[in-house]
């Protein structure tokens, strides 16, 4: 399992448009992915899960990836949160 800490870079937070982009990225990943904010864990392959985090601009999230393509997946997810 790989884990990284990321910060939400979007001024409007992790709202519908970036959440949709994140789901598209995650759907192409075979590994299990978990987004963690405070005590809440969600599957980022679900837009409702992402939206339920209520992650605003500057919020710190933990991303955990476990599976066959975890190294590649962590790179894609880190790029999403830094671009």
Helix residue ranges, H only, 31-69: 47-52
**Enzyme catalytic residues:** 15
> What residues contact residue 8 under an 8 Å CB cut-off, 6+ apart?
14, 55, 56, 57, 58, 59, 61, 81
């Amino acid at each position: 399992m790989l884990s990284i800490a990321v910060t939400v870079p979007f001024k409007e937070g992790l709202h519908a448009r970036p959440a949709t982009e994140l789901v598209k990225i995650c759907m192409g990943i075979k590994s299990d992915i978990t987004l963690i904010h405070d005590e809440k864990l969600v599957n980022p392959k679900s837009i409702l899960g992402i939206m339920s985090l209520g992650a605003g601009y500057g919020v710190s999230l933990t991303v955990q990836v476990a599976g066959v393509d975890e190294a590649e997946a962590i790179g894609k997810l880190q790029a999403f949160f830094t671009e």
